[in-house]
Structure 1
Amino acid sequence: MKVSIITVVYNGAAFIRDCIESILNQTYSDIEYIIVDGQSTDGTVEIVQSYGTKVARFISEPDKGLYDAMNKGIGLATGEVIGLLNADDFYRHNRVIENMVATFKRTDSDAVYGDMLYVDRTNPKILKRYWRSGWYGENAFLWGWMPGHLSFFAKRWLYEQYGTFRLDMKSAADYELLLRFIHKNKAKLAYMDEVTIVMRAGGISNSSLQNRLRANREDKLAWKLNGLTPYFFTFWLKPLRKLKQYVSKPPEALDK
């Protein structure tokens, strides 16, 4: 099973090596690694180019933002499975892809997801937040559930049949896509009960109250665009679910 991993980056020289190495060090060998750069000016391009053919596809050109760059990468992907890993982030260990592929084969699922850690931007030993996605139940989106987007690996046919990221969404484009794939179109899911992704804190959707309020408005729009009707409390439960992530601790140590 060929797996395409896509990294999008713009001026990410500070952390891009950690991201690349976490992919190149995976025990699973059939990986197509694609990097989409927004025409960086800080040395990112030179860092990526130093890896030569270890990066299967590399483009550096202006884009319309994060989700446009992701869509470009998805368009280039030839793997049966597609995963996304941002330039600031890295895989939790070197068996993530191996375990993910085994989960696909064991469950015959359309998509596989796991858990995520948010850590301090400069010191990844400092835990900020633990996103335990948990097992999916039918209609879980109505109760404020969603999996961590970067822990989500999808069969390529899902993107081909149901579309990629909407560029008219800003911070909630990932939520809208997951809502479309899972809740609306009933993609068959399998859960990897382990931490797969480590993210450096500072994401677009949760870096300020203003962005959180905008994300909430876009969450509502996501349901409307898909012709779906949420419960009146759905949009209250989604941010409330996140509160537990700031006090929960992962079962394994960060330095394992």
Structure 2
Amino acid sequence: MKISVITTCFNRENTIEDTIQSLLAQDYPDIEYIIIDGNSSDRTMSIVNKYKDRISKIVSEPDHGMYEGLNKGIRAATGDIIGLLHSDDLYFSDDSLSHVAQCFTETNADLLYGNGLFVSIDDTTKVTRDWISGKYSKSKISLGWLPLHTTVYIRRTLFEKLGYYNDSYKIAADSDLLVRYLYKADIKVIYLNNYLVRMRMGGLSTTTKRFRQKWKEDIQIYRNHRISPYKALIIKIISKIPQFIRAALTSHTTDRKQ
């Protein structure tokens, strides 16, 4: 079973090498690694090219954002399973993808998701949010629940059947895709109760301006799928509080049980 992993990046010279090294350290033997760069103007590509002999496909050209880049990567992928690793994120452990592959093999899942940790930008051992996704049900989607996007792995054939990221959304296209797959479609979904990623705290939706944009996009997405947007979003915000509490009450390090 081949797993295709896609990293999109733009001007990520400070973190891209950590991300690449985290992928290359994985002990799973059948990985296709694809990097889609949005024509970076800093040292990102010079760092990427240091590893070009160990990266399956590299594309660097102007695009309209991360979701267009992800769609390029998905269309270029040849793996049975597709996942993503953001350009400032790390795998939780060197056997994260082995756990993913084993779970797909044992369950014949269409889509699999797990748990993740948000960590400090400056100290990736310091946990700031502890995201335990929990079990899946369609009713939870209508109440604002979604798994952590970077822990989601999907069979490649599903993208052809159910569609790619809608890149008209600039911040919330991942939410739209997950709602389409988990709420609208009938697929086999499996929760892998393992930590899979460590994400540096930050990202597209963290500034006030971008948070407002994401809020507007989320409202539109829920309305499009006939879900009460304000009820879902309020519950979604409240559900994040335990993630911060768990992080504050547990140890400083990212050492968690698989």
Q: Classify the TM-score, shorter chain.
A: over 0.9
Against the structure 1 CA distance between its residues 29 and 95, is the aligned structure 2 distance closer, same or farther, given a 3 Å change threshold? same
Q: What code does the residue aligned with 1:178 have? A: L
Could you tell me how far apart the structure 1 residues matched to 2:165 and 2:148 are?
16
In structure 2, the partner of 1:242 is 240
CA distance in 1, matches of 2:246, 2:159: 33
Q: Which amino acid aligns with 2:37?
A: D
The residue identity in structure 1 corresponding to 2:235 is L
Deviation of residue 4 (structure 1)? 0.3
Alpha carbons 1:182, 1:188 under 8 Å: kept: no
Unaligned runs of 5+ in 2: none
CA contact (8 A) 1:142 1:234 kept: yes
Q: Separation in 2 of the partners of 1:187 and 1:18?
A: 34
Which amino acid in the other structure matches residue 223 of structure 2? K
* Contact kept? 2:116, 2:199, Cα under 8 Å: yes
2:219·2:229 contact (CA, 8 Å) conserved in 1? no
User: In structure 2, the residue corresponding to 1:143 is in which secondary structure?
Assistant: coil
Summarize the alignment of residues 1-256 of structure 1 with structure 2, pairs less than 5 Å apart. 1-205=1-205, 207-226=206-225, 228-230=226-228, 233-249=231-247, 253-255=253-255
Contact 2:219 2:230 in 1 (8 A): no
Q: Which segments of structure 1 move beyond 6 Å, counting only runs of 4 or more?
A: none
TM-score, L = length of structure 1: 0.94
Equivalent-residue separation in structure 2 for 1:251 and 1:94 (angstroms): 22
Once the two structures are overlaid, the 10-residue window that deviates more, 37-46 or 60-69, is: 37-46
Q: In 1, distance between residues paired with 2:159 and 2:238?
A: 30
More off after superposition, 61-70 vs 163-172: 163-172
Determine helix, strand or coil for the equivalent of 2:72. Answer: helix
Instruction: Give the Cα separation in 2 of the matches to 1:167 and 1:231.
Output: 20
Write out per-residue CA displacement over residues 1-57 of structure 1, whole angstroms, 9 at most, x where no aligned residue. Answer: 011000001111111111111111111110000000111121111111111221000
The two structures, once aligned, show a CA RMSD in angstroms of 1.7
| Counterparts of 1:102 and 1:251, CA distance in 2 | 29
Distance 1:216 1:108 in 2: 35
Residue 187 of structure 1 and its aligned partner are, at CA, apart by 2.4
Provide the rounded CA distance (Å) in 2 between the counterparts of 1:115 and 1:209: 26
